[in-house]
Amino acid sequence: MSMSRHSVADWETNPAPEAPIAPESLKEAGLSSGFLCDMLLRTLYTRGAMIGRDLAQILCLPFKVVREPLKFLKDEKCIQVDGGDLVGEVSYRFSLTDLGRKRSQEAMEQCAYIGPAPVPLEDYVEQCYRQTVTGLQCFPEALRAPFSHLVLKEDMFSNIGPAIISGRSVFIYGPPGNGKTAMARAIGDFMNTAGGSIYIPYAFTADGNIITVYDPSLHVIDDSIGEHGDEADATVRRLLSTGAVDQRWVRIRRPVIVTGGELNLSMLDLRFNTEGNFYQAPIHFKANGGVFLIDDFGRQQCTPKELLNRWILPLEDRHDYLTVASGKKFQVPFEQLIIFSTNLDPKDLVDDAFLRRIRHKVAINAPTRDVYERIFATNCKRLGMNFSVDAIDYLYERYYTRGRNPRASDCRDLLETVQSICRYRRQPVHLTRDLMIEASASFIAEFQ
């Protein structure tokens, strides 16, 4: 069979979107001179005297952009030059004057944010729409790798690819223990490894407010092309050159954010830092360009109806609204693949109006005997254990034909129990019918 016009490389990954270009001026940076002056004052106030190159590096801006604000602060006698060398202004050492220290304290009271300069909301929105999940390439050959550890029927596997490409929401449901979470995480693994990288800002501004986006606990930096070199000479060249990547943006793998029963409505709103007077983006917002998995849907700290009412319009319109403390709202993209995974009957959780907005619904039911045997064999191989049809026969005779539905997770749980029994008795791990009787008696019998 021919491999079509797509190369193996096409199957393995998606190309990164065009990188944001470093600004040549304050106007291109989308920042006012006063805003940047306050950031410079706060940085010097907290870190002490610094050379111009390091100041620009902390703000992730070319020195040419911070040169004029530094000159203004010097003319206003808020900062002074303590020294430098022949390289020029980029090597001058700047420190605060008494007046500058006072101005810095006032700036800290207004907002204590220090770090990479934020980008304008408009720039974030534009970049977000360049790297939507709806534009991903997904071929069976690339999708099989993250699903290789799962035993799936071909028709079920064939339904997953179109769901990913659509970029729309997915509802995965069925009885517990049959791989719903594993399937959802496999979709996330595909997005994270083969979905290509995207760019997100450290922070953005909206109506004068700073909202942080990049979260090192959730976002994985993609440094495969070595954009963020650490050598001093490379840093100087990057700060002074034109056409370089805007360092206010982080190149990351497409995010995969998983939440479960701990999810509540407050986590979907901006979180205000009362000490610093700036905001942190909500958890689902940080999943833009990737996957947001709501595991065990229906068991959150808010009712399904409350959660779905919060999202019914974003799911339809692909944008959301965030509200700052003043009550003002601003529109942001809602560009993510949302996966709802639940053990409960969807009809008991949501109404028809919401189900209509869920484009893809995947039922994960109890495995048939042949699928169960394949899952059982896979776990035997993983544990270095012999495969025993006799052990499976016992499970069907004793449990699965007497009211208990087989679960894919039973294979793992029972075989690991057998392994523990053998290790405790200091005997070789060799699966037998008798060992399965003993393991299942403690694992399954209590539920009968």
Domain with 62 in it: what CATH number?
A: 1.10.10.10
Residues 152, 245, single domain; the answer is: yes
In a domain, 1, yes or no: no
Indicate whether 76 and 104 sit together in one domain: yes
- Return the structure tokens found at 124: 């974030």
Same domain, 204 and 269: yes
pLDDT, residue 66, reads 94
Do 244 and 355 lie in a common domain? yes
Same domain, 420 and 327: no
Are residues 426 and 384 located together in one domain of the fold?
Answer: yes
Last residue of a domain, one of 100, 117, 134: 117
Distance CA 111, CA 39 (A): 9
Within a domain: residue 221?
yes
Convert the pLDDT of each residue in 245-275 to its tens digit.
Answer: 999 999 999 998 988 888 889 899 999 998 8
> Which CATH number fits the domain that encloses residue 250?
3.40.50.300
One domain for residues 291 and 153: yes
Q: What is the pTM for the complete model shown?
A: 0.82
pLDDT in the model for residue 225: 53
- Residue 43: count other Cβ atoms within 10 Å of its Cβ: 19
- Give me the sign of the Cα torsion angle 131, 253, 214, 270: positive
Model confidence at 244, pLDDT cuts 50, 70, 90, reads confident
pLDDT classification of 365: cutoffs 50, 70, 90: confident
Q: Do 221 and 153 fall into the same domain?
A: yes
Asked if pLDDT for residue 109 goes beyond 90, the answer is yes
Is 165 in the same domain as 244? Answer: yes
The pLDDT of residue 67 is: 93
Cα–Cα distance, 448 to 395 (Å, whole number): 13
Q: What is the CATH number of the domain that holds 427?
A: 1.10.8
Indicate the residue among 363, 389, 417 that finishes a domain: 363
Are both 172 and 318 inside the same structural domain?
A: yes
Report how many domains make up the chain: 3
Tell me: do 211 and 342 sit in the same domain.
yes
Residue 91 has pLDDT above 60, yes or no: yes
Q: Quick check: 117 pLDDT over 90?
A: yes
Whether 73 has a pLDDT exceeding 80, the answer reads yes
Of 63, 85, 117, the last residue of a domain is: 117
Structure confidence at residue 243 as a pLDDT band (50, 70, 90): low
Asked if residue 241 has pLDDT above 60, the reply is no
Q: Are 373 and 358 part of one and the same domain?
A: no
The parent domain of residue 75 ranges over 32-117
The proportion of the chain whose per-residue pLDDT surpasses 90, expressed as a percent, equals 50
Phi, psi of 79 (to 5 degrees): -135, 165
Averaged pLDDT, 324-332: 90
Q: Is residue 294 part of a domain?
A: yes
Burial class (CB in 10 A: 0-12, 13-18, 19+), 206: buried
> Would 14 be classed as within a structural domain?
no
Q: Is the CB of residue 255 less than 8 Å from the CB of residue 287?
A: yes
> What's the confidence (pLDDT) of residue 228?
43
Contact 92, 106 (CB under 8 A): no
Statement: residue 204 has pLDDT above 80 = yes
In a domain, 21, yes or no: no
Res 62: pLDDT: 95
